Structure 1
Amino acid sequence: MPNLVRGAGMYALLLFLGLISLIWNLLALPLHLLPERQGRAVGRAGIAYGYRLFWSAAQACGLMQIDDHCLDVLRNERGLIIVANHPTMLDALLLVARLPRSACIMKASLLRNIFLGSGARLARYVSNASARIMIRQAVADLRSGGQLVVFPEGTRTETPPLDTFRPSVTLISRMAQAPIQTVFIETDTPYLRKGWPIGRVPPLPIRFRLRLGRRFSPETNGNNLLAELERYYRESLEERAFDAPDACPNQNLRVPTSS
């Protein structure tokens, strides 16, 4: 595919994502009348479906190659924290597309965004406006059977392979008595990494591969768990370079746990 055509296709794909997000957020407005539990389920399922549609379109037109089926084994688990490294702006879309039970911790400003706010509020995504309220809402959601997607670096990686982890994830794990399932996001593209403008077309196709890592049990000493979690990610990311897009564990594989 000529570079000019690929570039035009990438812009069309981003426009498609914007339209999906805008349409869903308009549809979500009247759904706020639903009871909280029903609204949360509908909101999360709607977001997951919309992003799956986007990823399917991206692969169908040959602009992206995505290997994320390993997440399917986690779909129906309740009370689970899913943590991942955060190389690009698209990482949350990858995770929630396969995990319709999940919520994200979001910047408070995004909950007022025309493309994201209404749907995120319907899905009861967790705002980071107040650390105390954020932790309380996250714990309550996990105790009610939800899943929580967390990027412990807090923002996209500034110093590859990993930035320092923030302590909220292990505090939430301890308070909710929720295990932490690690997920690695691997990509061969600089697209939408820190400092990459959204309108700049990268080399195509873009490849993403997700793989499951160890599962960590909640611990009383959150600082020790945080240090172990960060060390595990750092060592794993330094050991592996992105090579082929087909190494995602089989969805029937038993989820590995920490010793």
Structure 2
Amino acid sequence: MAVVQACPGVPMKALERFWRVLATGFSFLVFGLGSLLFTLTVVPVSWLIRDELRSERFVKYMIHLCFRFFTGLMQKLGALTVEISHAERLASPGQLVIANHPTLIDVVFLVSFMPRADCVVKSSLLKNPLLSLPVKAARYITNDDPRAVIRAASDSFARGNTLIVFPEGTRTTPGEPMQLQRGAANIAIRTGHNLRPVIIDCAPPALGKNTPWYRVPERRMHMKFRVDEELDVSPYREGKPSVMSRQLTATIKDYFIRETAHHE
């Protein structure tokens, strides 16, 4: 981290906070420029790879490297610190990873941990001129049709990918009860994949929903990622899928509420 020299009459704490605003802003600027460069270079190269699976894996791996660079940059600049426990549990391919969603950059970190990560993304990204081509080249799954999502998830597992799903669907709203969608439960039940929970904590809270990036906390944010043991979904595959999906979603919700409370 760069050393900020104190100016007469300006508290060091205020200077340090100002530096973190600059570091965060610069990091996001790099992310935006990197996305443009990725679209102009990596995506066209992927078009030259005739084998569809090799092309997909090339793009996914390049996204993984770019996200590792971005998260490393934020740490080097002093915008945040990071701690991950049991990262080795993410090494096996073909997992269904679920996580709570406190910050804007949760998925960036998760993809930086896994070289062959797949994601369920908002279909609106296909209309984003900066991100639509990388999303298509990586064969990320769009969320517009629930049945199509399950089919695409099953195909993605068959290709050896690890799928990341945020059951909340969007970032957690501070001060409001956690609300989960059934997508993760439906995928788990209908594809027969257990759930690999990742508990994410950001202290002090930052980059949350309805919080602009430049509103940095008084002290440097520290992000913790804890990769837990798998949750066995086999008991939920014995009944009617729609009913079991509701029950499994309730189980996931209880799990996240309990474990995020322990993580604080």
TM-score range, shorter chain: 0.7 to 0.9
Tell me which residue corresponds to 1:247: none
Give the superposition deviation at 1:139. Answer: 1.7
Q: Deviations over 1:119-144 (max 9, x none)?
A: 22111110012222122111211133
The reply on whether 1:224 has 2:247 as its aligned counterpart is yes
Unaligned runs of 5+ in 2: 5-14, 238-243
The reply on whether 1:115 has 2:138 as its aligned counterpart is no
Give the superposition deviation at 1:111. Answer: 2.8
The reply on whether 1:26 has 2:40 as its aligned counterpart is yes
Give the superposition deviation at 1:68. Answer: 2.9
Q: Do the aligned residues in 2 keep the contact of 1:105 with 1:127 (CA within 8 Å)? A: yes
- 2:226 pairs, out of 211, 219, 222, with 211
- 2:75 pairs, out of 17, 35, 59, with 59
Tell me which residue corresponds to 1:49: 65
Q: Which moved more, 1:141-150 or 1:193-202?
A: 193-202
Tell me which residue corresponds to 1:257: none
* TM-score, with structure 2 as normaliser: 0.84
Matches of 1:74 and 1:4, distance apart in 2: 36
Q: Do the aligned residues in 1 keep the contact of 2:201 with 2:263 (CA within 8 Å)? A: no
Give the superposition deviation at 1:6. Answer: 3.1
Matches of 1:144 and 1:106, distance apart in 2: 18
- 1:13 pairs, out of 27, 48, 59, with 27
* Amino acid paired to 1:14: F
Matches of 2:136 and 2:86, distance apart in 1: 28
Matches of 1:78 and 1:240, distance apart in 2: 26
Tell me which residue corresponds to 1:70: 86
Matches of 2:171 and 2:75, distance apart in 1: 24
Which portions of structure 1, spanning 4 or more consecutive aligned residues, are displaced by more than 4 angstroms? Answer: 159-162
Matches of 2:95 and 2:52, distance apart in 1: 20
Matches of 1:205 and 1:62, distance apart in 2: 8
More helix by share: 2
Secondary structure, counterpart of 1:129 in structure 2: coil
Map 1:1-259 onto structure 2 (within 5 A).
1=4, 2=15, 3-30=17-44, 31-34=46-49, 35-68=51-84, 70-75=86-91, 77-160=92-175, 163-218=178-233, 219-220=236-237, 221-241=244-264
Matches of 1:74 and 1:26, distance apart in 2: 30
* Amino acid paired to 1:46: M
Give the superposition deviation at 1:182. Answer: 0.4
Q: Do the aligned residues in 2 keep the contact of 1:153 with 1:162 (CA within 8 Å)? A: no
Q: Please say which structure displays the higher CA radius of gyration.
A: 2
Q: Do the aligned residues in 2 keep the contact of 1:157 with 1:194 (CA within 8 Å)? A: yes
Secondary structure, counterpart of 2:222 in structure 1: strand
- Aligned pair count? 240
Gap change, CA 1:15 and 1:74, over 3 Å in 2: same
Gap change, CA 1:28 and 1:114, over 3 Å in 2: farther
Matches of 2:133 and 2:42, distance apart in 1: 6
Q: Which moved more, 1:229-238 or 1:194-203?
A: 194-203
Matches of 2:23 and 2:262, distance apart in 1: 34
Matches of 1:120 and 1:162, distance apart in 2: 31
* TM-score, with structure 1 as normaliser: 0.85
Give the superposition deviation at 1:43. Answer: 1.1
* Amino acid paired to 2:54: Q
Matches of 1:42 and 1:71, distance apart in 2: 22
* Amino acid paired to 1:116: L
CA RMSD of aligned residues (A): 1.9
Matches of 1:234 and 1:99, distance apart in 2: 25
Matches of 2:67 and 2:109, distance apart in 1: 8
